[in-house]
Amino acid sequence: MIEDANRIPAGSTLHADLCIVGAGAAGIALALALQDSGLDVILLESGSDRPDAAAQALYEGTVADAHLHPPPDHYRVRRFGGSTTLWGGRCMPMDAIDFERRDYIAHSGWPIGLDDLLPYYPRANQLCEAGDFAYTVETAFTRPVRSMIGGFDSETFSTDTLERFSCPTDFGARYRRRLERGPARVLLNANLTSLSSRPATQSDASTQPQPVDSAQVRTLAGNHFIVQAQGYVLAAGGLEVARLLLASPGASGRGLGNARDMVGRYYMSHIAGTLGTADLSHAGSVWHGYEISDEGIYCRRRLALRPQAQRALQAGNFVARLHHPRIPDPGHGSGILSALYLARPIVPYEYAKRLYGDAPGRGATLAHLRNVALDAPGTAAFLWNWLRRRTLAERKFPSIIMRPKNLRFSLDFHAEQEPNPSSRVKLGQAVDALGMPRIEIDWRYTGRDVQTVQSALAALAQAFGQTGVGRLDYAPDQVEAEMTRYGAYGGHHLGTARMGTDPADSVVDAQCRLHEADNVYIASSAVFPTSSQANPTLTVVALALRLADHLRKTYAAPRAPIESEIGSEAR
Amino acid sequence: MTNKMRVLVLGATGYVGRHIVQALAATDWAEPIAASRRGAVALDATDTTALVPALRQADAIVNAMASSPQDMIANAQALRAALAGTPMRLVHLSSMAAYGNVEGPIDEDQPLLGDLGPYSAAKAQAEHILRDCAQAVMLRPGCIYGRGSPQWSTRIARLLRAHRIGDLGAAGDGCSNLVHVDDVAQAVLAALLRPQAGGQAYNLSMAQAPTWNEYFIAYARALGATPVSRIGARQLRLETKALAPALKVAEIAGRKIGLARHLPPPIPPSLLRLWQQDIRLTSAKAQRELGLQWTSWPDALRRD
């Protein structure tokens, strides 16, 4: 059932087996997976069904360098459905190498491996509505599929792995009915403000796990109540999880789970950018668009740096896609791209960033208008397709695909970011409307991140040359500037409550449970120790489903009322 | 052979009736008497005076008559009257629809609300009428699919090929409660043979039935009607609000000139409601007491 938290009697205490905080991809996946578990679940969601500026404003905070990171209230949404109301839908699992400890990537290594997630990825794929869990061309298609670059067969880069696209599915809209009719109690407008532990009675309180015994909840309309549960799951996204932990005192008084000053550190995103010119006019064929799989999913090949090449280059994980030329530069002559450039004031912030060039000259607008006029039939056909296959379609065509006539593409890359304890999220002095401290984001990248991109690009240029398909031209000295042109990749908030076996360098254990409080779990990309090249949502959902299994075992211990009565008599 | 069980099958020319007759004929213990309004044994199953002599020729009766709600009720009343005082085994094909607008796991002890329109109400009422017959066995199948099933195989295949259905998103999340027509026929045989089935009701739905979306996507792939289309809420509204009434009118007109079956099938609001309704028949009792094993649906899609 779905209720408004403002209708809960003020000052009351609600009881449940589990209290989940956040109804986004993770929280909704978890609640759905627990529907037939017999557990009493309360799911708290700060937002409601509609965009709500006051709720969204609770996400405001500051960033250390506005060029390197978008404002904290962008690329994430405080609303039923969470940031899946905004996401682009790109799905891909992590690769086996992502979980390994690699001596060339500082602080790398997960306490779990790909095999631990494989049982959950197919169901995660289903919840994301991305079809079969088949991420290679051979497994996803029974028919022959166009090569990405004809004649390109390289030992450093593979074009046989796929990315798949969700509708993109808004988990709130898609699963609302199931939650409405399900047993979990979903409370909208409910903001967790603090998790309280029982007062420490032992002298070594900071080293012994202390269970959390209540959650304080407030609404913006002034209501307040308490939720008491056996277990708590924070599923509020990589930034908010850190904030909620730090804002709860915990046994140490330094923040829940933060006795060792680990919460909020190792904050990662992905290193991304668009650069260079890939001239593939010598390739046998080029196909950089989408294929539709039998079950109806948009799939796309990409250039993926093979694991052995990553090791040889001592580079992080890296993928690249063939991309249309840079939009702000009217030199591309494309009516579509120019139309998009001219329409940038109406494109949502999160998707408009790359439409703004570095101060285009006065003539630019005119040149773009000229492109639109000269390329009118092409532009009209594109707009018609866009209307039919994207605007009006429930499964949306994922992105703009523009094939340059001269087969000169730019390169769009997405790379792993090395974990770095100095890249962090912390609480500031300012507070929000509920009195919660706002966050301060200080995102940083390392020399390794620059080197990952540098060496991967050099290897790609070499592979293009060796296979004779064409050439990749870029300015190596501009790589760092290009990869940070738009700062941290928007919306990927990772690592702030990292998973590990040692409480000295991690926040949660392999079951995503706080080392410091044995009844508090994290279902979020906050637990990722490393970032992979993959967009995080699919793995977040898989981890949530895995957590659901663990919670079933831990909290669904058979309740035998007769036995417990006997027990209490005996006592 | 004289010691064979003579089984009067009402509605024997219907889709389910035909399969029951075939299954009975394939046994070495039963002899079907296929009765229907226009069949080999012509019989008006809503008429007590016609039923009484027919019952005299039979040892057991299977009621698979499918017709209008009024006729279903008339049939039940006539059957009860004809069977009065005769402890003859009656296997009555009821339906999941008898439960009405309920969701969640549903076992045989649930009350029959019959509140999903005239068909649902008639199914519930017919069971209520026939409950008085001492040896009645109520079979409540979910959605019967399999070779040539007009409702859940051929119609679905036509809609999938036309890409009018496919992946329906939230509108296809309901449990399909599919049961293969062969399994229904097996249930009828078991219900005839097992003495302890008398007075019992049995849900018939495969264990772990797929959701409608899962069924549609797998079926479309088996048919080669790919890539499967995502059908949005807007298109479904158009189907139920505009296209369905028009097709219904055309169907009524077409029936007069014998063209009705060439028309595309409509998707009425009731169908869309069913695809969303998360009713899950629990059929463990039929497995246990009738010894049923459910046909694997992916196998059936490949084979049928």
Q: How far is B114 from chain A (nearest CA, A)?
A: 20
Cβ of A392 within 8 Å of Cβ of B227? The answer is no
- Residue A569: pLDDT band (50, 70, 90) is very low
Percent of chain A with pLDDT over 70: 95
Cβ of A394 within 8 Å of Cβ of B227? The answer is no
For residues B112-117, average pLDDT: 95
pLDDT value at position B256? Answer: 80
Q: What are phi and psi of A48, to 5 degrees?
A: -130, -155
Q: How far is B225 from chain A (nearest CA, A)?
A: 9
Average pLDDT for chain B: 94
Q: How far is B152 from chain A (nearest CA, A)?
A: 20
Q: Does A395 touch chain B (CB under 8 A)?
A: yes
pLDDT at A314 over 90: yes
pLDDT value at position A198? Answer: 73
pLDDT value at position B85? Answer: 81
Residue at token pair 């042109």: A485
Beta-bridge partner residues of A320: A303, A413
Cβ of B221 within 8 Å of Cβ of A295? The answer is yes
pLDDT at B184 over 90: yes
pLDDT tens-digit series, residues A544-564: 999 999 999 999 865 544 443
* B-contacting residues in A 262-301 (Cβ below 8 Å): 292-297
For residues A392-396, average pLDDT: 95
- State the Cα–Cα distance between residues A81 and A101, nearest whole angstrom: 34
- State the Cα–Cα distance between residues A75 and A239, nearest whole angstrom: 11
- Residue A405: pLDDT band (50, 70, 90) is confident
- On whether the CB atoms of residues A246 and A240 are closer than 8 A, the answer is no
CA distances from A332 to A338, A345, A370, A375 (A): 9, 21, 12, 11
pLDDT value at position A360? Answer: 59
Residue type, B249: V
- Residue B251: pLDDT band (50, 70, 90) is confident
- Phi/psi class of residue A407: alpha, beta or left (left: φ > 0; alpha: ψ in -120 to 50)? left
Contacts of B175 in chain A (CB under 8 A): none
- The closest CB to that of B228, out of A177, A296, A393, belongs to A296
CB pairs under 8 A between A and B: 50
pLDDT value at position A203? Answer: 53
Cβ of B226 within 8 Å of Cβ of A294? The answer is yes
Residue at token pair 């007062």: A199
Contacts of A392 in chain B (CB under 8 A): 232, 234
Q: Does A129 touch chain B (CB under 8 A)?
A: yes
- State the Cα–Cα distance between residues B178 and B275, nearest whole angstrom: 12
pLDDT value at position A439? Answer: 98
Contacts of A178 in chain B (CB under 8 A): 170, 173, 278
Q: What are phi and psi of A11, to 5 degrees?
A: 80, 0
- On whether the CB atoms of residues A62 and A440 are closer than 8 A, the answer is yes
Burial class (CB within 10 angstroms; exposed 0-12, middle 13-18, buried 19+) of B41: middle
pLDDT at A410 over 80: yes
pLDDT at A566 over 70: no
Contacts of B272 in chain A (CB under 8 A): none
pLDDT value at position A529? Answer: 98
CA distances from A40 to A228, B106, B223 (A): 11, 21, 42
pLDDT value at position A356? Answer: 73
Contacts of B228 in chain A (CB under 8 A): 294-296
- Residue bearing the bigger pLDDT, A363 or A236: A236
- The closest CB to that of A394, out of B103, B217, B232, belongs to B232
pLDDT value at position A202? Answer: 53
pLDDT value at position B268? Answer: 94
pLDDT tens-digit series, residues A79-94: 999 999 999 999 999 9
- On whether the CB atoms of residues A241 and A524 are closer than 8 A, the answer is yes
- State the Cα–Cα distance between residues A32 and A37, nearest whole angstrom: 10
Short-list A148, A399, A413, A162, CA closest to A299: A162
pLDDT value at position A560? Answer: 45
- The closest CB to that of B227, out of A294, A393, A394, belongs to A294
Helix (H, G, I), strand (E, B) or coil at A180: helix
Q: What are phi and psi of B185, to 5 degrees?
A: -60, -40
pLDDT value at position A563? Answer: 40
Average pLDDT for chain A: 93
pLDDT value at position A358? Answer: 58
pLDDT value at position A323? Answer: 93
pLDDT tens-digit series, residues B119-133: 999 999 999 999 988
- Name the residue of chain A whose CA is nearest to B220's CA: A295
- On whether the CB atoms of residues B81 and B74 are closer than 8 A, the answer is no
Which of these ranges, A203-212, A468-477, B129-138, B179-188, has the smallest mean pLDDT? A203-212
pLDDT tens-digit series, residues B77-112: 999 999 988 889 999 999 999 999 999 999 999 999
- Name the residue of chain B whose CA is nearest to A177's CA: B170
Tokens of A214: 């209540």
- Residue A40: pLDDT band (50, 70, 90) is very high
Contacts of B167 in chain A (CB under 8 A): 129, 295-296, 395
pLDDT at A238 over 60: yes
pLDDT at A454 over 90: yes
pLDDT at B241 over 50: yes
- Name the residue of chain B whose CA is nearest to A167's CA: B230
Choose from B103, B163, B168, B226 for mutation: most chain A CBs within 10 A: B226
- The closest CB to that of A295, out of B170, B173, B228, belongs to B228
For residues B40-53, average pLDDT: 88
pLDDT value at position B304? Answer: 82
Cβ of B227 within 8 Å of Cβ of A293? The answer is yes
Positive or negative CA dihedral for A388, A392, A397, A403?
Answer: positive
ipTM for the complex shown: 0.90
Helix (H, G, I), strand (E, B) or coil at A334: coil
pLDDT value at position A332? Answer: 81
- The closest CB to that of B227, out of A175, A181, A296, belongs to A296
Q: Does B107 touch chain A (CB under 8 A)?
A: no
Question: What pTM was estimated for this model as a whole?
Answer: 0.93
For residues A149-172, average pLDDT: 97
Tokens of B272: 């869309």
pLDDT at A302 over 50: yes
* B-contacting residues in A 171-210 (Cβ below 8 Å): 173-178, 181
- State the Cα–Cα distance between residues A26 and B31, nearest whole angstrom: 59
Cβ of B167 within 8 Å of Cβ of A393? The answer is no
pLDDT tens-digit series, residues A252-284: 899 999 999 999 999 999 999 999 999 999 998
pLDDT value at position A404? Answer: 84
pLDDT at A199 over 70: no
- Residue A365: pLDDT band (50, 70, 90) is confident
Cβ of A167 within 8 Å of Cβ of B231? The answer is no
